[in-house]
Amino acid sequence: MEIERKFLVLNEDWKVGAVGTFLHQGYLNRHPQRSVRVRVKGQQAFLTIKGMVSEISRFEYEYPVPLADAEHMLKELCEPPTLEKTRYLVEYEGMCWEIDEFHGDNAGLVVAEIELENEEQSFAKPPWLGEEVSQDSRYLNINLSQHPYCQW
C-alpha cells in the first residue's frame, strides 16, 4: 500500500546539497482506477501496477525489468506522451521527501511527496513546502502525461 501526500514547492531552498536522478516513464494503461507504468530510473527499470484505494492511498506492485525492455516499451508500447522528471530525495526531520522537478511540457512544475505509514500520520512540514495538492488529480503523474502543466 502506498500512502502519499503531495505539495507544491515554494522555492529552491530544498535544493541545497540535493542530488537528483533522471526518470523517464510512460503508461501502458491509464485507467483512472488502475494503471500500468514503465519507468527508467538511472540504469534501473521497473514495471509498476497501481490501483486506487482513496485520494492518497493506492495498491502498488513494482517489479524490476531489464533496462532494454523498458526502453523499448517506452518507445513502442506506452501511450504517448511519456513523462520526464528529475527526482531528488531530501530528508527533513527524520522523513524522506521526494521532490520531482518536471521537464518538457511539465517544466516549471515542482512537487514534493511524502510517503506515510497511514493516512492520519503527522509529519513536520519543511519551510519550502507550499499548498497541498494531494486531492487535486491534475497533479497525478498519469494525468500530467495526458494534460501537461503547460496547458493549464
60: β partners:
50
Dihedral sign of CA atoms 35, 40, 42, 45 in order: positive
- Name the CA radius of gyration of the chain, rounded: 15
Tell me which of 27, 61, 92, 139 is the catalytic residue.
Answer: 27
Annotated catalytic, 27? yes
- CA angle, 105 then 86 then 28, to 5°: 65
DSSP 70-97: HHHHHHHTSEEEEEEEEEEEEEETTEEE
- Beta carbons of 148 and 104 less than 8 angstroms apart: yes
List, by residue number, the catalytic residues.
27
